[in-house]
Structure 1
Amino acid sequence: MQIVSPDEMERLQKKRQELYDQKLDVQDRIRKAAALGDLSENAEYHYAKEENRTIGRELAELELKLRTVQVVGTDNIPKDMVFLGHTVKLLDMDDESETIVRLVGEAQPPTAGSDVTDVSATSPMGESLMKARVGEVIKVKAPRGTMEFKIVEIL
């Protein structure tokens, strides 16, 4: 079972609705293409059928995920403690550079142009961040060695 923040659950439900809407649109295109007759040489019909199968697979995977995730609330978490759904500014202790990360239950593909990096709670960095407090220095075991970050603030 995966855990997700309330915001992540909302995004998953929004994605499900978008897929349902796309599926209805594609099914309408299939009906229109089928009405044109000879399906053996109807490229629009075959393309729409393949698109419908792809959306159906995505929708089935998303439905399974929605049935098995658990939403974790952050109501009783202290203000200075990092928890699922929090966006955190980190200071790399090696080169003094700052990084902004969001602790998520399920990492999503990066958003283009975003300065925030999603970090899964089950990743080495996510495990180090979970329940750490502002001002603490965390150690993250990575393939290139152990890295240290200071938690500057929760945004």
Structure 2
Amino acid sequence: MACRTRPDEGKRIGSPIVHTPSRARRDRRIGMDFLTPDEKRKLETRLEELRANRPRLSQRIAEARALGDLKENAEYHSAREQQGLEEAEIRRIEERLARAHVIDDNSRRAEDVVFLGSTVKLREVSSGDVDVYRLVGEASRDPSSDVIEVTASSPMGEALMKARVGEQIRVKAPRGIKTFEIVELL
């Protein structure tokens, strides 16, 4: 899905559309999940919160059960539903952490190469717009951040992975192929 060119050489690196699975998708299929140290910490913190909430939910269910008829007991059904949602999230996080491979800053091979956890400034070639992106394993869904998060398995993430400063990447987007230049790593 991505084609890289070096502006100084004008040579194309790779093909414009890749039909084989990306490394990120291939690794996810075989059970590997890449995380930054910060993403791993956030998952572990969330897991601790959910586990700590188990006794409170059990108590809430017991209190609601004591109120009587379970068929029309909204508090009981609400607590049971919440328990089911939290248990599902616990399982999802535990599975993700079990297959996680943490990519830390020391594992980066070169200063000018984009890896998981990198924050990069990109310029869209056609419009000249400049935005800041962060390559992540899983988006944090933090709307207050000024950085646009892209996952490694997205078309933009696949194009960015292992690209270098000064290269141009092509990304297949819903409205056609867009070309970006990697201005700098932040």
Query: What TM-score do the two structures reach when normalised by structure 2?
Result: 0.73
Query: Which residue identity lines up with residue 113 of structure 1 in the other structure?
Result: S
Are 2:65 and 1:34 aligned?
yes
Correspondence list, 1:1-155, <5 A? 1-77=32-108, 78-108=110-140, 110-155=141-186
Following superposition, the deviation at residue 84 of structure 1 comes to 0.4
1: distance between equivalents of 2:78 and 2:155? Answer: 42
Identity of aligned residues (%): 47
Q: Distance in 2 between matches of 1:142 and 1:105?
A: 20
SS of the residue corresponding to residue 82 of structure 1 reads coil
Cα distance in 1 for residues equivalent to 2:78 and 2:64: 10
| Greater Cα shift, 32-41 or 7-16 | 32-41
2:106 is paired with a residue of what secondary structure?
coil
* Amino acid in structure 2 at the alignment position of 1:24: P
- Larger RCO, structures 1/2 (Cα 8 Å, 6+ apart): 2
Q: Which amino acid aligns with 1:97?
A: D
Quick one: structure 1 residues 142 and 13, their matched pair in 2 at CA, closer, same or farther if it must change by over 3 Å? Answer: same
> Alpha-carbon deviations, 1:12-49, whole Å to 9, x = none?
11121222233332222112223334434332122111
Please tell me the residue identity of whatever aligns with 2:92: E
Q: How many residues align?
A: 154
Instruction: Report SS of the residue matched to 2:171.
Output: strand
Unpaired segments of 5 or more residues in structure 2?
A: 1-31
In the alignment, structure 1 segments of 5+ residues that lack a partner are none
Q: TM-score normalized by structure 1? A: 0.86
